[in-house]
Structure 1
Amino acid sequence: MLFAFFAAIAETERENIRESTLEGLDTTAGKGKHGGRPLAITDALLHTVLRGRAKGESVEQIQPDLISPTSKRRGQSPSVASIYRAFAEHTKREAYPDGVEQARADIRRPPRR
């Protein structure tokens, strides 16, 4: 019974920490601040990628022309994987404009029990 009691206290404490963390993330997001590393592909770079793709160029052909201003690799070309990831996210946003934001909101919302 003693272990069950301590397990219940630990689970309650874990849920309190999780809720506090999510509230803090929502508060900072409301102020326009987002955690994490800066994006390797900015909107301007994505626009360049989309123009190149419209001309029929491959991502490998477009990649050397790009210079990342904000990422860990600042001043260098972003990786091909980063370009594909940004392109895929853009495609999803175009196909489901509200879906991406709704999915992110669902992730932040604590599960109901």
Structure 2
Amino acid sequence: MLRTVLRRRANGESVEQIRPDLLIPTGKRKGQNPFLASIYRALAEHATRVAYPGAVEAAHADFAALQAGEVPGPRLALPDRASL
């Protein structure tokens, strides 16, 4: 669904215009349209992954370390996007 939204937004459509054509494929709401908030949340998460590609992997590694009872070490701060 995210690819569809990204492609259609690139063509100038709004999320409100795209939403009626999207259907949830599985789960309790199968066959229904996703909520607007869910679409915007997915777009925000995608934008974060694109802006900070290493952050998601680092967060997953830290979580795995915490689950194993380890304390993750400090990480270098990511550069501010405005300074790039």
TM-score normalised to the size of structure 2? 0.70
Higher helix share: 1
Matched, 1:99 2:49: no
Matched, 1:60 2:16: yes
What is the aligned residue count? 68
Structure 1 Cα separation of the partners of residues 56 and 7 of structure 2: 23
Bigger Rg, which one: 1
Structure 1 Cα separation of the partners of residues 27 and 43 of structure 2: 17
Q: Structure 2: which amino acid aligns with 1:58? A: S
Change (3 A) 1:92 1:70: same
From 9, 25, 32, the counterpart of 1:76:
32
Structure 1 Cα separation of the partners of residues 54 and 27 of structure 2: 27
Mapping 1:12-51, distance limit 5 Å: 45-51=1-7
Stretch moving more, 94-103 or 76-85: 94-103
Which structure has the higher relative contact order (CA within 8 Å, separation 6+)? 1
Determine what percentage of the aligned residue pairs are the same residue: 62
Residue aligning to 1:23: none
Superposition RMSD in Å: 1.5
Structure 1 stretches of 4+ moved >6 Å: none
From 42, 45, 52, the counterpart of 1:89:
45
For 2:61, what is the secondary structure of its paired residue?
helix
- Structure 1: stretches of 5+ with no match in the other structure: 1-44
